[in-house]
């Protein structure tokens, strides 16, 4: 099956799910934002980041690491001769959102073989791939956030939400049939969170194409936030979570994003 045809099928299933109801959804949804990442440029809906976040990010976001091809958005990381010059990538919407269903189809960061390291294909240990909402200054009372994150090689979906700078994480090993029964590293899969005034619910798409409910939390977050995606290298302060990045074995790689759909 071609990538283009697969994308059409995924989009149809996604919209049908919203219309018919799944999990906590029970009525037709209005599409507030959708991007299938066709075409060759990023377009006006997104901005590419060009700065360094500082620890625990061991890289600088570079717009040149953001590319599109074959109907996917590719967010890359690149190891340099000096670790202080390593680069990664991030994009965010120019539009902000308050409440809705946020769906991403993606594959976490994967190291591609190169002439210098022809046998390096595999999960990019030491990196994090994400889809999330964010606003405020990190760690302060203005900081609110809703996360879907993958630590490369763990096959684990890291869910988190931040209220006034305080995190509330919970992890799910997705190959476990109690969750979705899928391997996030074997290709593009769907992930979703529903944000309502009454709380947040996370889902992963299962092998049957339906949504498996993972987590539901009653929390009242009202701040409007842009949608964001990034791939970054963790520093030694969080090596216990991300693993240790080894530029010799994983000199470069990318996470691949097939589509983002936001409905209200």
Task: State pLDDT tens for residues 20-79.
Answer: 345 544 456 899 999 999 999 999 999 999 999 999 999 999 999 999 999 999 999 998
Distance CA(92)–CA(260), nearest Å, equals: 12
The answer to whether residue 14 is domain-embedded is no
The answer to whether residue 156 is domain-embedded is yes
Give the chain's largest Cα–Cα span: 53
The answer to whether residue 82 is domain-embedded is yes
The answer to whether residue 21 is domain-embedded is no
CATH number of the domain to which 108 belongs? 2.60.120.200
The CA–CA distances, whole Å, from 251 to 57, 59, 67 equal 16, 13, 18
Distance CA(234)–CA(249), nearest Å, equals: 15
Residues 6+ away with beta carbon under 8 Å from 90:
48, 49, 61, 75, 228, 229, 230, 231, 232
Alpha helices for the chain (secondary structure H): 3-20, 239-242
Domain count, the chain: 1
Provide the mean pLDDT of the chain. Answer: 89
The answer to whether residue 111 is domain-embedded is yes
The answer to whether residue 11 is domain-embedded is no
The answer to whether residue 6 is domain-embedded is no
The whole domain housing 156 covers 31-263
The answer to whether residue 26 is domain-embedded is no
Beta strands at 60-61 and 87-97: parallel, antiparallel or unpaired: parallel
Task: State pLDDT tens for residues 68-121.
Answer: 999 999 999 998 888 789 999 999 999 999 999 999 999 999 886 655 555 567
């Amino acid at each position: 099956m071609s990538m283009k045809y697969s994308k059409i099928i995924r989009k149809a299933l996604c919209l049908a799910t919203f219309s018919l109801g799944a999990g906590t959804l029970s009525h037709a949804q209005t599409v507030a934002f959708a991007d299938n990442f066709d075409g060759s440029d990023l377009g006006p809906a997104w901005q590419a980041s060009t700065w360094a976040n500082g620890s625990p990010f061991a890289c600088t976001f570079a717009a040149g690491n953001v590319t599109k091809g074959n109907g996917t958005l590719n967010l890359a990381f690149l190891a340099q001769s000096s670790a202080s010059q390593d680069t990664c990538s991030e994009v965010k919407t120019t539009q902000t959102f308050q409440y809705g269903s946020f769906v991403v189809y993606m594959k976490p960061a994967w190291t591609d073989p190169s002439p210098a390291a022809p046998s390096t294909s595999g999960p990019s240990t030491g990196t994090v791939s994400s889809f999330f909402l964010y606003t405020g200054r990190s760690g302060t009372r203005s900081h609110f956030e809703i996360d879907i994150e993958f630590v490369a090689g763990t096959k684990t979906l890291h869910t988190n939400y931040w209220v006034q700078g305080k995190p509330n994480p919970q992890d799910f090993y997705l190959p476990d049939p109690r969750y979705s029964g899928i391997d996030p590293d074997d290709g593009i899969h769907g992930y979703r969170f529903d944000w309502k005034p009454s709380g947040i619910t996370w889902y992963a798409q299962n092998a049957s194409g339906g949504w498996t409910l993972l987590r539901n939390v009653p929390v009242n977050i009202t701040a409007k936030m842009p949608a964001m995606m990034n791939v970054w290298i963790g520093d030694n302060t969080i090596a216990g979570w991300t693993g240790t990045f080894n530029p010799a074995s994983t000199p470069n790689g990318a996470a691949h994003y097939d589509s983002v759909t936001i409905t209200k």
